[in-house]
């Protein structure tokens, strides 16, 4: 009954204390805002609960008979053709997964049985909200979907770069996506959450507040797909050969380290190169700089799940690494780009329901809903139940079924028999020993629509995430929320968001309220459970505190002119190459420059087309005459000023000072500026760049 009481409180908070009784047919019912029509299905059947899917008990699996959920997801999955409804903007690559050690104690999954075994894999990265033509650096969640072509079938680990999600029950997925997408009457904004509909939904959905902290953080602005984490989001099960089950959460840790961009930088990158993430992954693989991630497992049993402060079936919660350490079990290497974008990246079909023997589901209601939704989506997108006949989706192990015909069937069973059982001894048969067996978790309870009471704490982990950030990261979160709310036209929505922030951190709420100049501070939002103050910071939740160990895989832009010091430039190129860094020459003309020794240096970018936002660090290497030329060019002044504002490291020669003066940075040289007086100084510049950002730079960002 606690779950039902919880839902009543939830609805009271959303609709007020007015009567929410359901009428029939075309009748209306009274809510806080006045008379509203009764919600019905497309068949006209009145809906009693649009918040929760039908489950066996509050924490049990979702029931197939839930016709309202089925219809809602069915319609949502078929709203767009031909691009994906979400994750439309994507980029993929081939590679392999290599197992470190056998995991026979945990799972019978074939890919985890032998040390050093390499399993082919395909990975698709994506943004969530934008359409196919949107820019890469939108503030958004990033999809991280991996298809393992195992010897016992395809396993799709379909996750994100954030370990939690906006909602707890898949019933709300269409509403959440509708809210964040462009507003339907005007068709904008594109690939942006800074608008009334999104924040209206968020301000009425306190369960979203943990995710909001992540999306307003630098996690939503990754420097590259190569420098971001991935998560399976949900709690799954691993099942070994003896039938023993263990709960598991999946993590992808980038070996290249974590890195993000700042908001002003992202905005300018989108203008300079809207394909920035795509180009970065393509260039790295083509250059042989293959990105790698480690797959890590958080493994825990029923006893831990029972004593853990939050419900492990709640997708808006995570398990801190300090409580359950991550066990590395293998590595993912991407070493091949696609041959054809449409045939592979666009047609690849991921389904969370695609698991192999030894991997199983939990009763997470969001996961249960995803298991239903994805297959339905692929039918609409790819036009046929035979989408597994497309090479990118086909398993790379033997496949035998009696399924046949349908649109675009590329293979059909031979002979007269297309059914089982049959008397002819023809065709495949089930195998109790080798086949997939669902873990027989006991399920008992009444059929009802409710959230369990254990799903009711919406603010404690949001607070834990916030206090785990460094001061600069906290400032970025406050500024991100401020920017988003500045685009919200309805004052009441802004106020409701601040009311939620008061339950997370008073200082954050006050900062945002001051920056949007809220006339009156609201009361804290009603909370089903008070915010816990005892949860400690978790270092693993911060990007800055988990920075890279080297500068490898990055790009440095060197602004050069005729007369550039050949010795300094050669030394810089050598030091960067030794570090595994790409050097790009940016010149006033794309043809190139003549160096101090009279040799010609081809340029990679023309100044106006190669702004400093495209690089992780910059070197300013003009000759004396060249600096005078650059000082008169707005693009050159922006090149320097942006690098400083974005807290990048700058190597420079003394002749660059006139440009620094014109860019307004000459009086603010700090330890992030590394003088390149001689060839030996290149090593000092590379050593400084390993920190990626000079966060101590004063006044770089408001």
**Exposed, middle or buried, 250 (CB in 10 Å: 0-12/13-18/19+)?**
buried
H or E segment to which residue 277 belongs: helix 276-286
d(CA 294, CA 409): 37
406: how many CB neighbours lie within 10 A of its CB? 12
Is 94 marked active-site?
no
d(CA 583, CA 204): 49
H or E segment to which residue 641 belongs: helix 634-645
d(CA 566, CA 623): 11
Which entry of 52, 154, 160, 354 is annotated as an active-site residue? 160
Tokens of 282: 């393509």
Handedness of CA 635, 640, 644, 649 (dihedral sign): positive
C-beta separation of 581 from 556 below 8 A: yes
Tokens of 315: 């997708």
d(CA 45, CA 421): 40
647: left (phi over 0), alpha (psi -120 to 50) or beta: left
Cβ neighbours of residue 38 closer than 8 Å, sequence gap 6 or more: 22, 23, 24, 25, 26, 27, 28, 29, 46, 47
**Cα–Cα distances in Å, from 242 out to 433, 437, 516?**
11, 12, 59
Is 178 marked active-site?
no
Tokens of 173: 């997925």
Nearest by Cα to 265 from 616, 692, 686, 6: 616
Per the document, the length of the chain is: 702
From start to end of 240-309, where are the E strands? 245-254, 292-300
Which entry of 68, 87, 94, 234 is annotated as an active-site residue? 87
Residue numbers annotated as active site: 87, 160
């Amino acid at each position: 009954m606690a779950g039902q009481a919880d839902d009543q409180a939830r609805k009271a908070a959303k609709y007020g204390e007015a009567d929410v009784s359901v009428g029939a047919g075309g009748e209306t019912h009274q809510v806080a805002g006045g008379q509203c029509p009764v919600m019905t299905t497309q068949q006209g059947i009145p809906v009693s609960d649009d918040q929760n899917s039908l489950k066996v008990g509050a924490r049990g699996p979702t029931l197939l008979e839930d016709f309202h959920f089925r219809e809602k997801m069915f319609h949502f999955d078929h709203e767009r053709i031909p691009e994906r409804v979400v994750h439309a903007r994507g980029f993929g690559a081939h590679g392999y997964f290599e197992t470190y050690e056998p995991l026979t104690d945990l799972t019978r999954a074939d890919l985890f049985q032998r040390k050093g075994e390499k399993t082919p894999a395909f990975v698709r990265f994506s943004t969530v909200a934008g359409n196919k033509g949107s820019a890469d650096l939108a503030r958004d969640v990033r999809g991280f979907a991996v298809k393992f072509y195992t010897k016992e079938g395809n396993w799709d680990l379909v996750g994100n770069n954030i370990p939690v999600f906006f909602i707890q029950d898949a019933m709300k997925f269409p509403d959440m996506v509708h809210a964040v997408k462009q507003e339907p009457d005007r068709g904008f904004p594109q690939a942006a959450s800074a608008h009334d509909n999104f924040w209206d939904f968020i301000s009425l959905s306190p369960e979203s507040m943990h995710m909001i902290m992540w999306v307003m953080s630098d996690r939503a602005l990754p420097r590259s797909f190569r420098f971001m984490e991935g998560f399976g989001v949900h709690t799954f099960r691993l099942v070994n050969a003896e039938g023993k089950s263990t709960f598991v959460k999946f993590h992808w840790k980038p070996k290249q380290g974590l890195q993000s961009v700042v908001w002003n930088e992202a905005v300018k990158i989108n203008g300079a190169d809207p394909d920035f993430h795509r180009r970065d992954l393509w260039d790295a693989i083509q250059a042989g700089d293959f990105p790698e991630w480690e797959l890590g497992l958080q493994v825990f049993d029923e006893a831990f799940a029972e004593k853990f402060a939050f419900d492990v079936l709640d997708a808006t919660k995570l398990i801190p690494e300090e409580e359950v350490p991550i066990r590395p079990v293998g590595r993912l290497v991407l070493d091949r780009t696609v041959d054809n974008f449409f045939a592979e990246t666009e047609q690849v079909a991921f389904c969370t329901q695609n698991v192999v023997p030894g991997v199983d589901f939990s009763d997470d209601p969001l996961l249960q809903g995803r298991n239903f939704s994805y297959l339905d989506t692929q039918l609409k997108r790819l036009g046929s139940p035979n989408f597994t006949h497309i090479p990118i989706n086909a398993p790379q192990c033997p496949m035998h079924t009696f399924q046949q015909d349908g649109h675009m069937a590329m293979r059909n069973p031979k002979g007269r028999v297309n059914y089982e059982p049959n008397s002819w001894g023809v065709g495949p048969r089930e195998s109790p020993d080798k086949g997939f067996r669902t873990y027989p978790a006991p399920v008992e309870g009444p059929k009802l629509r409710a959230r369990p009471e254990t799903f009711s704490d919406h603010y404690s982990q949001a607070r834990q995430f916030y206090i785990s950030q460094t001061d600069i990261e906290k400032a970025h979160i406050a500024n991100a929320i401020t920017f988003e709310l500045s685009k919200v036209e309805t004052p009441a929505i802004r106020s409701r968001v601040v009311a939620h922030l008061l339950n997370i951190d008073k200082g954050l709420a006050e900062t945002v309220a001051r920056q949007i100049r809220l006339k009156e501070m609201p009361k804290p939002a009603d909370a089903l459970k008070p915010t816990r103050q005892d949860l400690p910071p978790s270092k693993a939740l911060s990007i800055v505190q988990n920075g890279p160990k080297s500068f490898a895989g990055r790009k440095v832009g060197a602004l050069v002119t005729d007369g550039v010091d050949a010795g300094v430039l050669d030394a810089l190129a050598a030091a960067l190459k030794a570090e595994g860094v790409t050097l790009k020459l940016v010149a006033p003309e794309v043809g190139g420059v003549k160096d101090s020794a009279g040799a010609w240096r081809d340029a990679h970018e023309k100044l106006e087309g190669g702004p400093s936002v495209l690089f992780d660090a910059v070197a300013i290497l003009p000759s004396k005459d060249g600096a005078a030329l650059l000082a008169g060019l707005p693009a050159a002044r922006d090149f320097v000023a942006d690098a400083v504002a974005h807290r990048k490291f700058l190597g420079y020669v003394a002749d660059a000072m006139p440009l620094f003066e014109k860019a307004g940075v000459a009086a603010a040289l700090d330890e992030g500026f590394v003088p390149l007086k001689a060839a030996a100084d290149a090593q000092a510049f590379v050593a400084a760049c390993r920190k990626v950002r000079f966060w101590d730079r004063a006044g770089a960002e408001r």
